[in-house]
Structure 1
Amino acid sequence: MLRVSAGALKALTSGRGVGLGCTLAARSIGKDGQLDFRLRGGGVFMVRTDDRYWLTYLLLLKNYENDLDHFLTRVLRAKDSFLDCGANLGLWSIAVSRVIDDARRVVAVEAGSRTFAQLERNWEANDRSFTTLHRAVGEISGERVSFFASVGDHASATMVQGLRPEDSKEEIVTTVGLLDLVAEQRILRTADDALIFVKLDIEGMERKIFATLDPADHGDLALLYEDHGSEQNHVTAFVLERGFGTAFLADDGSIEFITGENLHRLSALKTDSSRGYNMLAFVSGGAAAGRLANVYGRTFV
């Protein structure tokens, strides 16, 4: 009923009322300003009834990041770890915790205070099945840095001054280094062939974080990052320069290698300038590359 109502208003307003239609539909049955969605694989995802970003996906598009969904469904194992860096409301942490049953090995890291408060509500609603960390992912741990989050759109936030949303408010947050997060997960490892999946949703900080990683030390990492459709100076070019292998994750579940020789192919694949495209980085010959080869039936080099 909610989806029909939101869709009808979208049609009546020629698409201009998409966000409004979703919030009006959600408010009609939401409780205490919240609406609960049951995820396909289990778990509950709670959003505010005025959250146009998430409601548009959940009510009209009915899916979120199909490319990443396909990939994790095929590759993730119960023995692995998952670092959700820039977790937002925790959708992927909730989904992954249905596979990894140790809350210590699923870590949702979120810097924005308002967003983190909502993330913690989802953490409680899902029986604390993952770990939450109110930090900004940075080059090292313990720095105090500025963080800019949009007042009207919690999905728009960054540590980069030049990318700050027009309606953002500045807050000071403490950083956690990705290397420290990875080190903690290696201590918790329960199997020699366990992988550490790292989802980096840290707008504008990708190059700085990858610069801290030496591929020789991280064969067990499967790094998921965004290469935005509007950016022709591809983040992937820097990741390749660092010595990682990379691949493009398609919405249909297929995967395509991107190398320095065919980097131009990425421009053709990124057809929507408003969208962030999920990419995979891995170490050739490492444990992650071995898992990928077994799953996809070809060598990842």
Structure 2
Amino acid sequence: MLSKYFDTNNRVTIRIGEESRLHVHLDDGYWTKLLDPGFVYEPEIGDMLDRVLTSEAIFLDCGANIGFWSVLTRHRTRRVVAVEASPETFHRLTDNIALNGGGVALVHAALWGHDDVSLSIVGHHLCHAAASVCERDGDIGRNGWRSFDVASLTLDTLVERHCAGLTGPVVVKLDVEGAEIPAVEGARKTLSERDVVFLFEDHGQDPTCKVSRHLMDMGMVVMSPGRRRPLEIREIAALKIDPTRGYNFAACRPDAPFVESLARPRP
């Protein structure tokens, strides 16, 4: 509704957390939900971050969008790196990090299984949260959908460039709109050398749970916060009752220190 009355440059500043702010554009139907004081954004991701982030951890906010989680976590961990592929959204991300005094490394790239591949990002200025390098080719030219070329980057290269010399666990929030499997494939070196946990989305429209299956095939366990044991595929499929929304889970090696914190009962 707001997009009918406000142009793309009209925005408000809202407070998130105790010491963070966010610019929200009033034509942005995804983020204007934050104007409702009763709305809680992605509570599962917030719960998982509370369990796995420490002052020694590195947080890779992959699919950072306009910077909600990057801004909130910038003082809680050793380093925050925000990665966003959509050019327009990356501009808004940069603006929000500057609004909060910086402290976050910004990367304009699309996560993929190989470096330096030119990928097409398909997006819409009113639906930027759905911008994707996968599964939207048919939307190009339809009702304002358009494509942008952006270079690919692997998680291994991201860690080498921005986390060299930093020890500690790596927490990866992976919300890359259908590119999760190529992104995970590009992290094999990091997975062999560090403790890594992926906070990822397995969408309700996929009854096969292909992202969870792929992570399990790579030797990881899939966890849901507060459950004492890893999930099986049939349990993940049973949890995904709404085909229009994504469901958030965590994945790590079975011997990783994250398992205990993820399994801890909710208070």
TM-score bracket, normalised by the shorter chain, equals 0.7 to 0.9
Distance 1:181 1:162, change over 3 A: same
Helix, strand or coil for the counterpart of 2:114? coil
* Residues in 2 aligned to 1:63 and 1:241: alpha-carbon distance in whole angstroms: 33
How many pairs does the alignment contain?
A: 259
The 4+ residue runs of structure 1 with deviation greater than 3 A are 161-167, 212-216, 255-259, 294-298
User: Any conservation in 1 of the 2:118–2:151 contact (CA below 8 Å)?
Assistant: yes
Larger radius of gyration: 1
Contiguous gaps of at least 5 residues in structure 1: 1-19
Residue 180, structure 1, aligned to residue 154, structure 2: no
* Residues in 2 aligned to 1:210 and 1:117: alpha-carbon distance in whole angstroms: 25
Residue 269, structure 1, aligned to residue 245, structure 2: no
Residue 132, structure 1, aligned to residue 102, structure 2: no
User: 11, 26, 44: which one pairs with 2:21?
Assistant: 44
Residue 227, structure 1, aligned to residue 194, structure 2: no
TM-score (norm 2): 0.87
**Which residue in 2 is equivalent to 1:293?**
260
The CA deviation string for residues 97-116 of structure 1, in whole angstroms up to 9 with x for no partner, is 0312x5xx211111111111
User: 225, 228, 248: which one pairs with 1:278?
Assistant: 248
The CA deviation string for residues 50-80 of structure 1, in whole angstroms up to 9 with x for no partner, is 1111112442652100011111123211121
* Residues in 1 aligned to 2:34 and 2:239: alpha-carbon distance in whole angstroms: 22
Helix, strand or coil for the counterpart of 2:176? coil
Distance 1:58 1:75, change over 3 A: farther
* Residues in 1 aligned to 2:60 and 2:126: alpha-carbon distance in whole angstroms: 27
User: 233, 242, 248: which one pairs with 2:218?
Assistant: 242
Q: How does 1:83-98 map to 2 (within 5 A)?
A: 83-98=60-75
More helix per residue: 1
User: Any conservation in 1 of the 2:10–2:25 contact (CA below 8 Å)?
Assistant: yes
* Residues in 2 aligned to 1:239 and 1:49: alpha-carbon distance in whole angstroms: 37
Distance 1:257 1:46, change over 3 A: farther
Helix, strand or coil for the counterpart of 2:257? helix
Helix, strand or coil for the counterpart of 1:52? coil
Distance 1:47 1:168, change over 3 A: same
CA RMSD for the aligned pairs? 2.6
TM-score (norm 1): 0.78
Which amino acid is the alignment partner of residue 238 of structure 1? H
